[in-house]
């Protein structure tokens, strides 16, 4: 099924926001966002890249998964405009470029617009579920299908809840660890992780032609939902002075992460059609375990020095790499050249991405001044990968580009002939 105009807008904007985040990393302390307000970088990555990507793919996948017709375009268009406006205003509110700093309500206004965009997406899904199911023949049922739609809905409810917490964070610090950190964790664990789980349970068993038992699927989904709720609730209800108590609230999420890795390993072992790309999935889940372990160590020791490593290993490492290989699986960038190029670029960009994550995590592990060369290296790698990624993606999303920007059909043919045997 071709991507709708609104999905294409969300996905294209996601890459633009990722490039902006790469530029911030590349500039290091010169941008100011890595020292005084590194939450500016988190906002770009979490809301601008992850949030726009999940919206673009969810609007594309949900009608098929729920067996419902496509939603009206105007509501999706309104969601995109609200989200983009909210991202920009929120980024301005967090920026250190203004002197004196802007009042907190400016960021809250941006977060409110973003919340409106997320609410519009949820409204589209709710409207879809009211519509009668399509009677066309669907794909063969798998055990993971039973939890796909519930996970989608909880994921987007978490996005709305996170947006509300972001709005509050502009006005007050909040109880416990504060509204901001609770919002970030609800967005990552409740929105991104649950959506990744839903898509993984839907697509990976079909890709590998393997299954796990339905009780295992139910347990994984339940632990994911409970953990996504308890961690931000625990952050609001636990004082930083007794941070070790937060580890109890994180037990279901830790069990979920371990079970998720185990489920994927079982699927690999049972696979009738093995695929090398599953190695990237395992890599991303390993980074999820590493990021979570850093977080548990911080609260157990009440030492928040590696907080940047914790945040970026989780967001750039786990979520970022997952988005990368799922993006290539659903869009196949560079297919206007050849599918062989798609495979090559997936592995080349994944290797570049992983090196960038290692570089930024290494510098963040001992506390981050934002001035080190590793952050600039990671920014250069991220920015370069994004530019190449976008160059391969845009012509696929917009087929009217004929056939690739700056290349004629004859030049494309020469490239194919040159690389077909390599």
Q: Which two tokens stand for residue 85?
A: 């406006």
Q: Which two tokens stand for residue 16?
A: 């633009």
Is residue 252 within 8 A of residue 230, CB to CB? The reply is: yes
Q: Which two tokens stand for residue 132?
A: 């009668």
Is residue 25 within 8 A of residue 374, CB to CB? The reply is: no
Q: What is the pLDDT of residues 322-366, one digit of tens each?
A: 999 999 888 888 777 777 778 888 999 999 999 988 887 877 666
Q: Which two tokens stand for residue 301?
A: 């020791």
The helix/strand/coil state of 72 is: coil
146 has pLDDT over 60: yes
Cα–Cα dist 76/71, whole Å: 8
More confident call, 361 vs 85: 85
Mean pLDDT of 144-156: 88
Q: Tell me, what's the pLDDT at 140? A: 66
Cα–Cα dist 5/368, whole Å: 40
Task: Determine which of 21-30, 48-57, 284-293 has the lowest per-residue pLDDT on average.
Answer: 21-30
Q: What is the pLDDT of residues 378-403, one digit of tens each?
A: 888 999 999 999 888 888 888 776 55
Mean pLDDT of 247-262: 93
Is residue 259 within 8 A of residue 223, CB to CB? The reply is: yes
Cα–Cα dist 8/53, whole Å: 10
Measured on CA atoms in the order 205, 206, 208, 209, is the torsion positive or negative? positive
Q: Tell me, what's the pLDDT at 161? A: 94
Polymer length in residues for the chain: 422
Cα–Cα dist 122/393, whole Å: 26
Cα–Cα dist 101/32, whole Å: 13
Cα–Cα dist 327/342, whole Å: 11
Q: Tell me, what's the pLDDT at 131? A: 64
403 preceded by a cis bond (ω within 30 of 0): yes
Is residue 24 within 8 A of residue 41, CB to CB? The reply is: yes
321-343 exposure pattern, b = at least 16 Cβ within 10 A, e = fewer: bbbbbbbbbebbbbebbeeebbe
Of the chain, the percentage scoring pLDDT greater than 70 comes to 83
198 has pLDDT over 70: yes
237 has pLDDT over 80: yes
285 has pLDDT over 70: yes
- Please, which residues have CB within 8 angstroms of residue 96's CB and are 6 or more apart in sequence? 32, 33, 36, 37, 40
């Amino acid at each position: 099924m071709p991507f709708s105009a609104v999905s294409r807008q969300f996905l294209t904007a996601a890459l633009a926001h990722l490039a902006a985040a790469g530029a911030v990393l590349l500039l290091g302390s010169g941008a100011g966002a890595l020292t005084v307000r590194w939450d500016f970088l988190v906002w770009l990555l979490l809301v601008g890249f992850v949030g726009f990507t999940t919206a673009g793919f969810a609007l594309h996948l949900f009608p098929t998964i729920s067996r419902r017709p496509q939603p009206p375009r105007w509501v999706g268009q309104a969601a995109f405009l609200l989200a983009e406006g909210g991202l920009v205003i929120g980024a301005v509110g967090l920026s250190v470029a203004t002197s004196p700093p802007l009042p907190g309500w400016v960021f809250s206004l941006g977060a409110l617009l973003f919340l409106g965009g997320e609410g519009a997406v949820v409204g589209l899904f709710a409207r879809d579920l009211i519509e009668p199911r399509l009677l066309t023949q669907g794909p063969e049922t798998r055990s993971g299908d039973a939890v796909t739609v519930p996970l989608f809905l909880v994921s987007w409810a978490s996005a709305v809840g996170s947006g509300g917490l972001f709005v509050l964070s502009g006005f007050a610090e909040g109880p416990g660890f504060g509204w901001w950190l609770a919002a970030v964790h609800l967005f990552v664990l409740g929105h991104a992780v649950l959506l990744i789980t839903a898509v993984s349970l839907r697509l990976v068993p079909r890709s590998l032609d393997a299954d796990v038992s339905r009780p295992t699927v139910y347990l994984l989904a339940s632990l994911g939902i409970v953990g996504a709720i308890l961690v931000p609730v625990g952050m609001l209800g636990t004082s930083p002075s007794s941070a070790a108590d937060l580890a109890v609230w994180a037990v279901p999420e830790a069990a979920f992460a371990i079970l998720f890795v185990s489920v994927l390993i079982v699927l690999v072992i049972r696979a009738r059609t093995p695929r090398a790309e599953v190695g990237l999935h395992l890599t991303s889940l390993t980074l999820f375990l590493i990021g979570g372990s850093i977080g548990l160590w911080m609260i157990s020791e009440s030492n928040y020095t590696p907080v940047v490593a914790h945040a970026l290993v989780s967001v750039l490492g786990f979520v970022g790499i997952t988005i990368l290989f799922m993006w290539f699986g659903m869009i196949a960038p560079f297919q206007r050249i050849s599918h062989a190029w798609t495979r090559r670029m997936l592995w080349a960009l994944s290797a570049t991405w992983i090196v960038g994550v290692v570089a930024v995590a290494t510098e963040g592990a001992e506390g981050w001044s934002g001035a080190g060369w590793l952050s600039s290296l990671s920014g250069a790698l991220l920015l370069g990968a994004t530019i190449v990624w976008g160059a391969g993606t845009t012509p696929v999303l917009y087929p009217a580009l004929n056939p690739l920007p700056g290349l004629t059909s004859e030049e494309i043919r020469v490239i194919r002939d040159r690389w077909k045997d390599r």
